Structure 1
Amino acid sequence: MEIILKEDIIGLGYKNDIVNVKSGYGRNYLIPQGKGVIASESAKKVLAENLKQQAHKLAAIKAEAEKKAEALNGVELVIESKVSATGVTYGSVNANVVADELQKKGFEIDRKIITMHDIKTVGEFEATIHFHKEVEVKLPIKVVAENAKVEAPAEEATKAEETEATAE
C-alpha cells in the first residue's frame, strides 16, 4: 500500500515522501493517526502542486532573509556595561541586550533568533543571528566599561594631536 506521509516518521520516511507499507500498518495506524494519506493519483497531483508552491514560498522567504542579512553586514555593536575593578560585568550581556541595541540602531530583530553565550567580561565577542536555516550572520560585539567612553574621546584627541605634530 502506498502512503503519502504528512510528518516525519523515524525509520519510515520524511514529510511528503511516498512510501510502501503493509496494508494493516497504513489502515490501522498511519491514516487514523493523521500521519499519512492513501497515495491515490489525485493525492499525488495535490502533493506535487503543494511542493511546487512551497518551493516558491521558501525561495521568497530565503531571499528576504538574505536581504536582512545584507543590511546587517558591517554593523558592530558597542555595548556599555557597569564593570567591576577586575573587568567582570555586573549582570551579563545576552541576546535581549543585543536585540535592544540593534533596535536602537533601527534593526527590528527578534531575540529568539540570536544565539550567543552570555557575556560576563569586557572584550570582543560574537553573536550569531539566524534569519533562515541557510542564512545566518555573525555580529561582532564589543563590551566596554561605562567609564571607558569618557576616556575614548581623550585618546582620539591625543591621536589627532600626534598626527598634526607629525604632519608639521
Structure 2
Amino acid sequence: MEVILREDVEKLGARGEVVKVAAGYARNFLLPQRLAVAATESNKKIVDQERQAWLKREAKAQNESEDLSKLLDAQTVTITQRAGENDQLFGSVTAKDLADALEAQGFTIDRRKILLEEPIRSLGDFTVPVRLHRAVTANLKVHVARED
C-alpha cells in the first residue's frame, strides 16, 4: 500500500514522501496515528500544501533558534554546590539544575534539550551542548563553584 507521510517517521521516511508499506502497518499504525494518509491525487495536493506551510514554520523556528544560540553561547551559568576536599560535589549538577539556572537568567529552555551525557560531579568549568533546533546546537558554558 502506498501512503504519503505527514510526519517524519524513523526508519521509514521524511514528511511528504510517498512510501510503500504493508497494508496492516498502514491501517493499524500510520493512519490511526495520523502519521500518513493514503496516496491519492487529492491527498497529494493537501499534503503538499501542508508541507509548504511546515517549511515556512520550520525556517522561522530555525532563525529564532540561531538567534537564541548566539545569546546562549555568550552566557555563562554559575552553579554553587557543596563540595568535599577533592573538589568532588555532594550530589551532582543535572540538566534540570541547568534549566533552572537558565530560567533565573531569563531563558526558557526545556531540560530535555540540554544534552548533558552524565551529571557533573566535580567543580570546574564545563561546556554543555544545548539542542535548540534539529539543525542548531548552542554551547553553554557552566561554572560549578564551591558553596561557602
Q: Given the two structures, how large is their TM-score scaled by the length of structure 2?
A: 0.80
Q: What is the distance in 2 between the residues matched to 1:103 and 1:5? A: 37
Contact 2:6 2:47 in 1 (8 A): no
Q: What is the distance in 1 between the residues matched to 2:49 and 2:103? A: 40
Q: What is the distance in 2 between the residues matched to 1:18 and 1:91? A: 50
| Pair 42,91 (structure 1): closer, same or farther in 2 beyond 3 Å | same
Give the corresponding residue for 1:96. Answer: 96
Contact 2:15 2:51 in 1 (8 A): no
**Aligned-CA RMSD value:** 2.4
Deviations 1:38-76 (A, max 9, x none): 322212111211111111111111122112212213111
Give the corresponding residue for 1:51. Answer: 51
Deviations 1:99-150 (A, max 9, x none): 1221222222222211212111111112111111111111111112123xxx
**Larger helix share, 1 or 2:** 1
Give the corresponding residue for 2:74. Answer: 74
| Pair 104,56 (structure 1): closer, same or farther in 2 beyond 3 Å | same
| Pair 109,3 (structure 1): closer, same or farther in 2 beyond 3 Å | closer
Q: Could you list the runs of 5+ residues in structure 2 that have no partner in the other structure?
A: none
Give the corresponding residue for 2:124. Answer: 123
Code of the aligned partner of 2:139: K
Contact 2:124 2:145 in 1 (8 A): yes
Code of the aligned partner of 1:128: P
Q: What is the distance in 2 between the residues matched to 1:146 and 1:49? A: 56
Tell me the percent identity: 29
Q: Given the two structures, how large is their TM-score scaled by the length of structure 1?
A: 0.71
Contact 1:79 1:143 in 2 (8 A): yes
| TM superposition shift of 1:14 | 4.4
Q: What is the distance in 2 between the residues matched to 1:54 and 1:130? A: 20
User: Which of these two proteins has the greater Rg computed from alpha carbons?
Assistant: 1
| Pair 47,141 (structure 1): closer, same or farther in 2 beyond 3 Å | same
| Pair 77,44 (structure 1): closer, same or farther in 2 beyond 3 Å | same
> How many residues are paired up?
141
Code of the aligned partner of 2:124: G
Contact 2:127 2:139 in 1 (8 A): yes
